[in-house]
Amino acid sequence: MNNNLKGFVYGIATSATFGLIPLFTLPLMAKGMQFDSILFYRFLFASIALIGIMAVKKESMRIDKRDIPVLILLGFFYTASAMFLFWGYNFMSAGIATTLHFTYPIFVTLVMLVFFREKTSWVTLLAICLAICGVARLSINEGEMKLSALGVFIVLLSAVGYALYITTVNKSRVHNMTGRKLTFYVFIVSTLLFAVKASTNEGIQPIPDAVSVVNLILLAVVPTVISNITLVLAVHNIGGTLTAVLGAMEPVTAVFVGVLVFGEPFTFNLATGILLIIIAVTMIILSKTIQKTLRSLRRTLIR
């Protein structure tokens, strides 16, 4: 399997598993657990799982001292993304929150444009406009806000955090670090940050029951360990922008979970908003192909 194909497989696996977060999170919130505690256990259990995997694989945990500041920065970005996404669940359905979070490829493109002077095209700019329209379609109904403006802003911050995480992995000195090792240290930072954050509120809550233990373990393994290892592998093989675009499976997975498992309504506005956002992000990945096709068509017509 060539690197591009592996990268696409890893990218799809990342988004599909990440979209399962609501499946394990909403039952925990229904039991009265605060998102600080949920996220603390999520990253603690994920770190333990990674230690076990690395031990079995006999993978060294040694890192260069120069990598530490970058790993801490990545931990902050990932922590911010997770915190704002979970906070957003208090304002809207999980499907809509995940769809809004899916705007992160747009922010990846903007970060690459502003900070790395990566050239952009009219196709990309049009895609950004479509994404904004998609967010508006999710949020506004007949001239009135269906969603809390604060809630939309909070979830968009989660998208910004995730975009910064992907861009930093792609552009920093840790780019060539193995996926498991990088993910492990990022999770350690996230665990410590959520422990501190929980201590400033009610403290870390005890796990309510055995079912909640199972949900936390699944939350730690499926949309955390698996999705983040495949994320790093995808970035290594196809880069940050393409990996971000393959996140199209995230809102689709989350919406199906919300509708089929939690009985959330599937409305025309929701379908339209999701479609616009997916089209926008897909346009980014196909921007070069679209421009090349249009140039060829224009030359053919001129002849």
pLDDT at residue 254 greater than cutoff 50: yes
pLDDT at residue 14 greater than cutoff 70: yes
Q: Which of 58-62, 168-172, 207-211 has the highest mean pLDDT?
A: 207-211
Higher pLDDT, 104 or 69: 69
pLDDT the model gives residue 243: 77
Give the residue among 109, 90, 79 at the shortest CA–CA distance from 245: 109
pLDDT the model gives residue 285: 66
When pLDDT is averaged across residues 252-268 and rounded to a whole number, the result is: 79
Instruction: Dump pLDDT digits (tens) for 205-218.
Output: 999 999 999 999 99
- Say if residue 114 is exposed, middle or buried (CB neighbours under 10 Å; 0-12, 13-18, 19+): exposed
- Residue 298 corresponds to which tokens in the numbers above? 């224009």
Instruction: Dump pLDDT digits (tens) for 230-245.
Output: 888 888 888 776 777 6
- Report whether 163 contacts 108 (CB < 8 A): yes
Q: Which percentage of the chain shows pLDDT scores above 70? A: 92
pLDDT the model gives residue 142: 47
* Confidence label for 52 from pLDDT (cuts 50, 70 and 90): very high
Mean confidence (pLDDT) of the chain: 85
pLDDT at residue 184 greater than cutoff 90: yes
- Report whether 225 contacts 48 (CB < 8 A): no
pLDDT at residue 143 greater than cutoff 60: no
Higher pLDDT, 82 or 4: 82
- For residue 144, give the H/E element and its range: strand 144-145
Tokens 């809102």, residue located: 251
Higher pLDDT, 140 or 269: 269
Q: Which percentage of the chain shows pLDDT scores above 90? A: 35
pLDDT the model gives residue 181: 92
- Domain positions in the chain are 3-302
Q: Which residues have CB under 8 Å from 142's CB, separation 6+?
A: none
Cα distance between residue 276 and residue 185, in whole Å: 36
